[in-house]
């Protein structure tokens, strides 16, 4: 059986991280089978190497065609034709019949990169190929057969895409027969220095310049950077330094020209491994939201009870949410504005945006008085709702809602 080290040498995979060794081991083990493989990982981690490892180490398929397809780079209107072929005259510009990739790769391997970008209609066609091997060219009713091994890759959190209706759940389970996760560079810190030196050697030969060296401080800075672009970002930075820097001993000050260490924080990316965080919109997130709303409702109820307690015992000044100071008269069950004693309004008006949590006689009485107050204010302002809302000390939106609640729309 092929060993991990020989695979690394053959495909130029640098590193001794147990995580990357585990991914290579799975690829070797699954290669002789016909199982579908889904490769996941962030952008720039090197997912494109693993479909080649699987194809080249298969039993019979390695002698057939290997086709790599970037699903995100093909327009939605033509992707079915590219994958499954089309008949002459099936659409504008189809001057002759054409074989698709699944037909051309019969007996071999197809690598579907960025598989999460496939349109829904194409996902249905792909599911049928995976389950039965059947497909039809665009514009044809003839069912054809193909024997293709599918390896797919994505940097998208597919379970989250499923919850948002962007990806078919049945297709996900069919693709994910054998999952291979490629770790991000920040999870294989022991490989960062090795990769840097490998890239430095390659660029030294390519551009005929001396190799780079790192001070201990520079090594420490590189290993503690988050590398959001992963191996691709490290390679690009090494190339820039190789070309632009005259000093071949690289210090942290030189690195700062190419890496913003001040923003060394891992920003969210498209892909999230399923064991890291629960996907957005899950029951976990909803539970937190409901808990917050429940706590807020409890605070509102406590506030209502406190205000009711004040009204039953003694008159006290009250500051409303809109910063008005009112004086509550428990005998008259009303509040008076200190700025304008003649302008009396109901205390409950300042809490009308909250749902009533009790259906008591007191609440019914307050609602009746509130309705009468609105009718009087409308009459005073000749039905002008803007002026009425201003007199009542409430917003127009709240007034319209009150009018609807009390069936006063026609008043």
pLDDT band (50, 70, 90) for residue 174: very high
Neighbours of 156 (CB within 10 A): 19
Res 276 pLDDT > 80:
no
Retrieve residue 199's tokens. Answer: 């890239």
Residue in this structure with the two tokens 């809490």, named with its chain if needed? 351
pLDDT given for residue 1 in this prediction: 63
Res 62 pLDDT > 50:
yes
- For the segment 253-273, the average pLDDT, to the nearest whole number, is 68
Per-residue pLDDT of 343-370, as tens digits, reads: 444 444 444 444 444 445 556 666 777 7
Supply the mean pLDDT for the chain. 82
CATH numbers and ranges of domains, the chain: 4-183 (3.40.50.300), 192-263 (1.10.8.60), 305-405 (no CATH)
Q: Rounded to whole angstroms, how far apart are CA atoms 126 and 180? A: 20
Residue 335 · residue 344 · CB < 8 Å? yes
Res 321 pLDDT > 80:
no
Residue 31 · residue 53 · CB < 8 Å? yes
Summarize the chain as % helix, strand, coil (round to 5). Answer: 50, 10, 40
Percent of the chain scored above 70 by pLDDT? 74
Res 207 pLDDT > 50:
yes
Residue 341 · residue 329 · CB < 8 Å? no
Estimate the crossing angle of helix 361-380 against helix 385-392, to 10 degrees.
Answer: 130
Res 265 pLDDT > 70:
no
pLDDT given for residue 365 in this prediction: 67
Q: 179 pairs with which residues across the strands?
A: 38
pTM (predicted TM-score):
0.63
Least confident of 78-92, 147-161, 289-303, 362-376: 289-303
Res 244 pLDDT > 90:
yes
Neighbours of 331 (CB within 10 A): 6
Q: Rounded to whole angstroms, how far apart are CA atoms 69 and 127? A: 17
pLDDT band (50, 70, 90) for residue 318: low
Residue in this structure with the two tokens 């790769």, named with its chain if needed? 105
Per-residue pLDDT of 339-348, as tens digits, reads: 444 444 444 4
Q: 113 pairs with which residues across the strands?
A: 70, 153
Rg of the Cα atoms in the chain:
34
């Amino acid at each position: 059986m092929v060993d991990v080290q020989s695979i690394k040498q053959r495909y130029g995979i640098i590193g001794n991280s147990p995580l990357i060794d585990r991914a290579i081991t799975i690829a070797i083990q699954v290669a002789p089978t016909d199982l579908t493989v889904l490769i996941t990982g962030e952008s720039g981690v090197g997912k494109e190497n693993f479909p080649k490892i699987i194809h080249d180490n298969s039993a019979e398929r390695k002698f057939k065609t290997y086709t790599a397809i970037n699903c995100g780079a093909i327009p939605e209107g033509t992707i079915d034709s590219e994958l499954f072929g089309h008949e002459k005259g099936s659409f504008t510009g189809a001057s002759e019949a054409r074989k698709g990739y699944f037909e051309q790769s019969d007996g071999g391997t197809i690598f579907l990169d960025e598989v999460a970008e496939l349109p829904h209609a194409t996902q249905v066609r792909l599911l049928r190929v995976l389950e039965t091997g059947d497909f039809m060219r665009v514009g044809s009713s003839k069912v054809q057969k193909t024997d293709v091994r599918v390896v797919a890759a994505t940097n998208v959190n597919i379970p989250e895409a499923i919850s948002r209706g962007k990806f078919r759940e049945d297709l996900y389970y069919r693709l994910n027969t054998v999952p291979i996760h490629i770790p991000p560079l920040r999870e294989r810190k022991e490989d960062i220095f090795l990769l840097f030196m490998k890239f430095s050697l390659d660029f030294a030969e390519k551009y005929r310049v001396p190799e780079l060296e790192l001070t201990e401080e520079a090594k420490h800075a590189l290993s503690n950077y988050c590398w959001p672009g992963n191996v691709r970002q490290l390679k690009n930075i090494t190339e820039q330094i190789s070309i632009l820097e005259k000093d071949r001993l690289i210090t942290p000050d030189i690195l700062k020209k190419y890496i913003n260490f001040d923003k060394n924080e891992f920003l969210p990316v498209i892909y999230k491994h399923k064991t890291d965080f629960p996907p957005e919109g899950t029951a976990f997130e909803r539970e937190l939201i409901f808990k917050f709303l429940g706590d807020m409702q409890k605070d509102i109820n406590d506030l209502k009870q406190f205000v009711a307690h004040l009204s039953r015992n003694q008159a006290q000044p009250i500051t409303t949410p809109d910063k008005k100071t009112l004086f509550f008269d428990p005998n008259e069950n009303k509040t008076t504005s200190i700025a304008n004693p003649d302008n009396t309004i109901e205390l409950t008006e300042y809490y009308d945006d909250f749902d009533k949590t009790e259906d008591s006689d007191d609440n019914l009485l307050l609602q009746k008085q509130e309705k009468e107050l609105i009718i009087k204010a409308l009459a005073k302002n000749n039905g002008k709702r803007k002026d009425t809302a201003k007199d009542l000390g409430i917003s127009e939106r709240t007034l319209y809602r009150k009018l609807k609640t009390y069936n006063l729309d026609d008043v």
